[in-house]
A and B are shown apart, each in its own frame.
Chain A
């Protein structure tokens, strides 16, 4: 490791060419980086629940849909009914749309004295007001429609569109379908001011679209702020340009790594570019801040001067890159692919930043005139007085500071205990976003677009012809409907009840399960299989209940699913094998996995980083001390999350590990300097003072840069990314406080305590 500065400064051109050769293949992959048009990747790997859900979808058809809804007080008039028919037809002719369901084509099962019919509900559009009113009444009296296709007040209607999912896993069909849909809806603006689109297709696409917008903002804004920061810190054009060149190469190589590993930019991995830029700049700042004129004067030539600068920082930079990479890589234990991918590319980015900071940057520095990049003590002048005041305060009141820190920690632990584990897909979007407004519109007037499925299986063929087994389905539906946020349940039983009622002159008394197996079988002879195929197999040995919920929070969904499972466990199941599944179940499972993954990753990262610290600092005591300034920001972070009600979700779950990996960098730089002073037999207070004055400026600058790097995420369209950015920025500040204030204060407090006890143990 220590030979690298010598080799690089003696053979700058070889080093430059080597680094360019190294980066070239990655940069060549840069144009192939792909963003995705969907968020299908948010699923657990090798999970039995996922497999079961997939099998249910294979049996009963894909459950993805979106609705196009609109409101008008005169819905049941010829112009609007004609519009429903036209839209149904037009939406149905969009390529990749499997099916469209609306009042125009939904089956209407109807019986009277001597006849029976199943026909499309809107087969004919009447002109006569009496007939129109009859139509309205019939729609509102059909339970299969209300909440699905028509609101209870008869003013809002929905057209459900079911996309044809591709087998290739290509999610971009959503984009094409939604674009077509927009064009079609535009034609009808004269009649309807606003159409509201909601459902997984829309949510999925919006997530990906906002994500792309994020990438488009993150990188340029990060560049802008980083340039400004470097300029403010060093006031040197050449250094600013060199820093930009270095971080561009690092970021470029990391982005190239995306396509080398076949990883796409998704809403977790979009965080990587600004993060790598900020972190890459860290090493650069540590090198730059040691380019002092006195070093240049002491050295025979610029190459030697640079060699001594690099020799001074390479070990801490290596350690910081390593610990950060470990922190990132620990996330690879996750079973959620995007988090795993984040782990890989972010860790790779750390390797790149170290390599380029010591292989590419030095030759570039040697190309510059030394007098233009080495500087005197003027930077000292800018940061010096402030740092001196800080040191005096810390050395003056170590116990008071320790007490305040202890109180803060206790308060944070208390507040942190109230953190909700929750991913609310709806709250991913800002309240003002059109998607959230539309979802709100649809869910308040019709039904929630979240789905839970209950699968009921029997060993016997035709089991679901028996009224007893149908009763099991009905009981589960009845129970589910008593739970909050359940808007609608649907099953095979609903169709049979509708048939039974139609065969009994539409007498509502007969909206019940047919009394005998024979009657069920005979009704089924009459009924077209298309619609019920979604709810029961042709063999009638496997049925499904669809439950539409308007609960978007995973914790609320978990409560609902638990209640449903408990009820099913306790009920008379008639020997049926019953299992709760559906998209919401998958979401809840992912959240569970995230939380456990978070704990798992944190444990691994903490253990490995501690080990590295012990080895690097070559002292158990110092190693243990190094944990203090790193645990402090994490505890404060959880305290803030608890106090502000920010939930632990897919993004905020990353913070602890990411923050630990980065916060530890400051500690390494600080304690390395401290150790060096102690080795010179300096007293503890003096060593702490000197370490703070020597490293303080660089630590402040890198922290500031990281605050900016994370701060850029505040420009995101996603609430979780905003939380992630904001919280991580705060962590960077608290980590700095941890190193420059908390750590020295605690060390001094203990030191004094022991000195007063007369033990005088050296720390």
Chain B
């Protein structure tokens, strides 16, 4: 589920029937596409095991495993992640709860200290647990915070995509000056994302390596984020994802975060 969270720069927890623009030959506006992506079906809740692999420029690999639970609470989205391997970090947990106004509260629990700390919002542009994803990459941002433009269409490995360009509005805080997304027209799933810094330098690239239909929900089961400057990359592989389990709200609390 974490990959979903990550893709979700533009995701909203919402379901709409998939509209296939390509068939009615109407080019949608950028904002409409963004809204569609934002509104993809991600289920009422989900539980998954994720393999996180960090790959250095030199090809050295480090593997971590974590359990991810997610739940929609009206317009509010909550996620709890807990590392299970390697042993040193077993039990370390992150809880994130949207505030409903475009922000997200994040809490961190360190079992070795038995302490929870709120992560300050200033962390946004920083790497999340040393991966190539930043806190911002994992966060959902309101559609209206950005300006959109359809820059064209492209065929990506046989899938027709819209090329959507998104730039933050002047008042929006973002580490990126430009994000260019290739969005599967039929599925509203971003298959590739190029990230540019505020000097328009291409700094990162995200790609979906494997997409599966699970319980009727299109799920990116393997994704990669590459840091083009350092050559470092991170892959996330989702295993055993199950949707709509009826997870309890109590699982998404600080108390549960510390209950390990």
A526 touches B108 (CB 8 A): yes
Residues in chain A near residue B113, CB distance under 8 A: 503, 519, 522
Contact A528 B119 (CB under 8 A): no
- Chain B: interface residue total (CB-CB under 8 A): 28
Residues on A with beta carbons closer than 8 Å to the beta carbon of B112: 514, 516, 518-519, 521-522
Contact of A114 with B by CB under 8 A: yes
Chain B residues touching A, majority SS: mixed
Pair B115/A503 contact, Cβ less than 8 Å = yes
Given contacts A519-B113, A522-B112, A524-B130, contact A114 B89 (CB under 8 A): no
Chain A residues, CB < 8 A from B127: 528-530
Asked whether any CB of chain B lies closer than 8 Å to the CB of A754, the reply is: no
Q: A117-B119, A518-B88 are in contact. Are A538 and B108 (CB under 8 A)?
A: no
Q: In the complex, which of the residues A115, A465, A523, A524 has the most CB atoms of chain B within 10 Å of its own CB atom? A: A115
Contacts of B119 in A (CB 8 A): 115-117
Once the chains are docked, how many angstroms separate the CA of A332 from the CA of B89?
58
A519 to B113 CA separation, bound complex (whole angstroms) = 7
Among A115, A514, A518, A539, the residue within 8 A (CB) of B117 is A115
On whether the beta carbons of B56 and A114 are closer than 8 Å, the reply is no
| Residues on B with beta carbons closer than 8 Å to the beta carbon of A519 | 110, 112-113
A430 is an interface residue with CB less than 8 A from chain B = no
Picked from A115, A518, A526, A538, the residue with its CB within 8 Å of the CB of B60 is A538
Q: Which of A115, A521, A524, A528 contacts B118 (CB 8 A)?
A: A115
B177 within 8 A of A: no
Asked if B123 and A525 make an inter-chain contact with CB atoms under 8 angstroms apart, the answer reads: no
Interface size, chain A (Cβ < 8 Å):
30
Determine which of B54, B60, B87, B123 lies in contact with A117 in the assembled complex, contact meaning CB atoms within 8 Å. Answer: B123
Q: Could you count the A-B residue pairs with CB atoms below 8 Å apart for me: how many are there? A: 76
Q: Is B43 part of the binding interface, using a Cβ–Cβ cutoff of 8 Å?
A: no
**What's the Cα separation between A503 and B88 when bound, in Å?**
18
Q: Which residues between 537 and 581 of chain A lie within 8 Å of chain B, taking CB atoms? A: 538-539
B89 to chain A, nearest CB (A): 5
Interface residues of A in 720-752 (CB under 8 A from B): none
A677 beta carbon closer than 8 Å to chain B: no
Contact with B along A492-536 (1 / 0, CB 8 A): 000000000001000000000010111111111111111000000
As a 0/1 sequence over residues 106 to 138 of chain B, the CB contacts with chain A under 8 angstroms (1 = contact) are: 001011110111111011001101100000000
Do B89 and A115 touch across chains, with their CB atoms under 8 A apart?
no
Residue pair B120, A117 in contact (C-beta under 8 Å) = yes
Does A119 make an interface contact (CB < 8 A)?
yes
Set of chain B residues within 8 Å of A520, measured between Cβ atoms = 88
Instruction: Knowing A521-B88, A522-B111, say if A529 contacts B130 (CB, 8 Å).
Output: yes
Least distance between A134 CB and chain B CB atoms (Å):
16
**B129 contacts which chain A residues (CB < 8 A)?**
525-526
Enumerate 27 A-B pairs (CB-CB under 8 Å) in ascending A order. A115-B117, A115-B118, A115-B119, A116-B117, A116-B120, A117-B119, A118-B122, A118-B123, A119-B120, A465-B88, A503-B110, A503-B115, A514-B112, A516-B112, A518-B88, A521-B86, A521-B88, A521-B112, A522-B88, A522-B89, A523-B110, A526-B129, A527-B130, A528-B126, A529-B127, A529-B130, A530-B127
Residues of A within 8 A of B (CB): 93, 111, 114-119, 123, 462, 465, 503, 514, 516-530, 538-539
